Amino acid sequence: MATDRRRAILEGAARVIARRGVRGLRMEELATEAGVSTALIYYHFKDRAGILRHTLEFISDRADRYTSDQGEGEDGSEGGSEDGDDAVRELERSLLLEFQDLPEVRENSTAWGELRASAIFEPELRGDLARATLAWIHDVADLLGGIRPTAPAPALTASAERLTALLEGLSTRWLSGALPLTHARELTKEAVAVELERLAKID
């Protein structure tokens, strides 16, 4: 079916971009990967830029899903820590999802980083990217707000901006082999702790 093929192409694009980068994305390789002809790609997506745009959208939707979807192994009752310990773990979990050596995660991180980097030279990618980034920052700010409910909103936003930008920086280092996964995770956890201390001090 039409929709199936479309999806197959987008999934293939995410894989190829993760493997070769945006700069390495070749229509023919994508066609093979998705099990279709090159012509069909153009039928569904007009041109190369169209594929990139839709792949970005596809990727960020998928990331939303694996970020929120996580089935908790815990039962629903609040254990007893009054300082929002669960909320802290929830925030850490959400951020650390980026640092797992699973194909889908690697794929998402790589493609995201690639598209972010490409946006420097391809302004038509900027709109979607900005929207997705803003949504991410907002989610993280909400999680921080759950931990420090009385902290002022601008401070929450600033912390969220730093944490997400840090994650992007660390992620690029990880993917380029400059930073071991475990170390990336440690640095992230400490960053969370450090930002929470700051928020505690402020409110």
Partner DNA sequence: GTCTATAAAGCGATAGAC
Partner DNA sequence: GTCTATCGCTTTATAGAC
The option from its own copies, DNA, none interacting with 191 (CB < 5 to 8 A, set by class) reads: its own copies
Position among 22, 52, 63, 141 found at the interface with its own copies (CB under 8 A):
22
Nearest-angstrom CA–CA distance, 113 and 125: 13
By CB under 7 A, which span of 31-39, 66-74, 129-137, 172-180 interacts with DNA?
31-39
Q: Which residues contact 75 (CB under 8 A, 6 or more apart)?
A: none
Min CB(173)–its own copies separation in Å:
6
Position among 165, 180, 181, 203 found at the interface with its own copies (CB under 8 A):
165
Position among 52, 114, 140, 192 found at the interface with its own copies (CB under 8 A):
114
Provide the mask over 174-193, with x wherever binding to its own copies is found by CB under 8 A and - wherever it is not.
-xxxx-------xx--xx--
Q: Which residues of 115-134 are buried (b: 16+ CB within 10 A; e: fewer)?
A: bbebbeeeeebeebbeebbe
The option from DNA, its own copies, none interacting with 4 (CB < 5 to 8 A, set by class) reads: DNA
Query: Among 200, 189, 193, which Cα is nearest to 94's?
Result: 189
What's the farthest any 2 CA atoms get from each other in the chain? 60
44 touching DNA, by CB under 7 A? yes
Phi and psi at 8, nearest 5°, equal: -60, -40
Identify each DSSP E strand in the chain by its residue range.
none
Nearest-angstrom CA–CA distance, 102 and 69: 16
Coil vs helix vs strand at 139: helix
Provide the mask over 48-67, with x wherever binding to DNA is found by CB under 7 A and - wherever it is not.
x-------------------
Query: Among 132, 138, 104, 106, which Cα is nearest to 119's?
Result: 132
Min CB(70)–DNA separation in Å:
33
What's the half-sphere exposure (Cβ side, CA atoms, 13 Å) at 174? 26
Size of the site for DNA (CB under 7 A): 20
135 touching its own copies, by CB under 8 A? no
Query: Among 104, 117, 113, which Cα is nearest to 62's?
Result: 104
Give me the residues that bind DNA (CB under 7 A), please: 1-2, 4-6, 25-28, 35-40, 42-44, 47-48
Give me the residues that bind its own copies (CB under 8 A), please: 20-24, 110, 113-114, 116-121, 123, 126, 129-130, 133, 158, 161-162, 164-170, 172-173, 175-178, 186-187, 190-191, 194-195, 197-198, 201
